[in-house]
């Protein structure tokens, strides 16, 4: 069985709907808590798939969160070696940094459900499964597109929403792994951020999750499966 390790930054932002999708694709999944785990361990470099999850910190805050430096180094080494990496939100920002791009505060919070606009390359990629599907946005930082990366998706506020790095790197600024039950933990864990974001409330987020998440779970699992199939074909 193939091995996947998810780097987790806070307990409530986990693989959620991606866990059964990965199992269906033949992956045995485990977690490494980045803040207290050994992100420099050799076994993390060698796993079949590394998933870098989200979290409420900045990808540039190594001074406050020293584990970010070896985490970025791990991502950089895996990408350089052709080892698959999937980044979600903070994970995408860490991938951008590992590839030499700038990550910085966007100046606004993009929180809520809305589709992304796929680029031409995005429409020819595994992200085609997300065409017209509302995804969950939850970020206050953004990143420049790394040199050599292919931009796959955008929103009006955030031009760099997703990028591909060759065949083995996929970075998504937005969330496609979330389910309504899993998000109940986010509403508690991110209560201060929600309260400070204009026009955002738990009630609205919960209602939108009930409306949009079922389609996203199906589309997100299909997107993940298509990307993993592509890795198998190119391997």
Q: Does the annotation mark 25 as catalytic?
A: no
Contact, 84 vs 168, CB < 8 A? yes
Give me the catalytic one of 13, 71, 110, 177: 177
Q: Where are the alpha helices (DSSP H) in the chain?
A: 18-24, 42-46, 68-80, 90-98, 120-123, 180-189, 191-196, 202-234
Nearest to 37 by CA among 60, 11, 56, 58: 11
User: Is the alpha carbon torsion for 74, 78, 84, 85 positive or negative?
Assistant: positive
Q: Are 98 and 72 in contact (CB under 8 A)?
A: yes
Q: Where are the beta strands (DSSP E) in 133-196?
A: 135-143, 150-154, 162-165, 169-172
**Cα gap 161→18, rounded to integer Å:** 19
Out of 25, 89, 139, 150, the active site residue is 89
Vertex 215, ends 210 and 221: CA angle to 5°?
120
Dihedral Cα 29, 228, 111, 140, nearest 10 deg = 80
175 is catalytic: yes
Q: Which of 139, 150, 168, 175 is catalytic?
A: 175
| CA 194 to centroid of chain Cα atoms | 20
**Residues assigned a catalytic role:** 89, 175, 177
């Amino acid at each position: 069985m193939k091995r996947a390790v998810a780097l987790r930054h806070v307990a409530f932002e986990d693989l959620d709907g991606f866990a059964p999708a990965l199992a269906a694709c033949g992956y045995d999944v485990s977690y490494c808590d980045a803040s207290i785990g050994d992100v420099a361990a050799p076994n993390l470099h060698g796993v079949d798939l590394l998933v870098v999850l989200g979290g409420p910190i900045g990808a540039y805050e190594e001074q406050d969160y020293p584990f970010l430096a070896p985490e970025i180094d791990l991502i950089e080494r895996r990408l350089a070696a052709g080892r698959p990496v999937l980044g979600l939100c903070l994970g995408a920002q860490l991938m951008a940094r590992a590839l030499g791009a700038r990550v910085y505060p966007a100046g606004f919070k993009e929180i809520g459900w809305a589709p992304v606009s796929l680029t031409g390359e995005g429409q020819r990629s595994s992200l085609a499964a997300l065409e017209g599907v509302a995804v969950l946005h939850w970020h206050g930082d953004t990143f420049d597109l790394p040199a050599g990366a292919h931009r796959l998706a955008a929103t009006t506020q955030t031009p760099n929403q997703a990028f591909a790095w060759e065949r083995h790197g996929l970075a998504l600024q937005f969330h496609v792994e979330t389910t309504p039950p899993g998000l109940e933990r986010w509403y508690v864990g991110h209560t201060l951020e929600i309260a400070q974001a204009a026009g955002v409330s738990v009630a609205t987020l919960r209602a939108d999750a009930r409306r949009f998440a079922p389609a996203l779970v199906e589309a997100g699992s299909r997107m993940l499966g298509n990307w993993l199939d592509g890795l198998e074909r190119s391997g």
